[in-house]
Structure 1
């Protein structure tokens, strides 16, 4: 196996591990539901995609051929992960209309309570 291909495989594996780890950290650290859906969906998709492409390149270079299973998994991942994140976000948005309006006082980043005006006053209340 050529050194160039080995470096490409190493780069893809390191990038894949980094983006997968980044998606996990985003799931834990981000505050809002929509951010928690968006961050891991994008980062983990890219991370697992890089790992699968590294596997495809490794098997192609070693002479065992490109396995259709790896290609199907990659295509399935890139099709389903963004669509499922989008559908979860739309479902959460539709449920937000059923929640009571937000309070008139919200905490500031410095843990102080700050009065604020509602940018879009709601009718009937």
Structure 2
């Protein structure tokens, strides 16, 4: 393998590791659930994508063909991380988990359990559809 390619792979691994470290520290140090979601969904996801990119390059070179496994894992990770963070935040809102006192816009944070349903909401009555 070429020296410049090894250096590039090492740089991507170091950058990915730094993002993983920052995301992990954010998960531990941030004050509430809503802000803690940013660590694993943003920094850690980017760090994992960097590690998987470096792994893909090394696997492609050693096998002599393009390695698709790492790209599929990265795609799955990039799609599912924001969705899972959104679901965790919605669950926290349903359970009336209050945000950190310094969060801006708290007057807009009405817990989801007390919000009115949309006006075009169709409900099932007596087991029958409207």
Report 1:85-124 matches (<5 A).
85-96=85-96
TM-score (norm 2): 0.69
Distance in 1 of aligned mates of 2:87 and 2:77: 15
Consecutive aligned runs of 4 or more in structure 1 exceeding 3 Å deviation: none
Deviation at 1:44, TM superposition (A): 0.9
Aligned residues: 103
Gaps of 5+ in 1: 107-118, 121-125
Contact kept in structure 2, 1:34 and 1:89, CA below 8 Å: yes
SS of residue in 2 equivalent to 1:62: helix
Q: Deviations over 1:58-108 (max 9, x none)?
A: 122334322222121111111111110111112212322xx7x99xxx8xx
| Alignment partner, residue 17 of structure 1 | 17
Q: Which has the higher strand share?
A: 1
Distance in 2 of aligned mates of 1:18 and 1:40: 13
Report 1:59-78 matches (<5 A).
59-78=59-78
The answer to whether structure 1 residue 38 and structure 2 residue 38 are counterparts is yes
The worse-fitting range, judged by mean Cα deviation, of 56-65 and 33-42 is 56-65
TM-score (norm 1): 0.71
Gaps of 5+ in 2: 102-106, 109-130
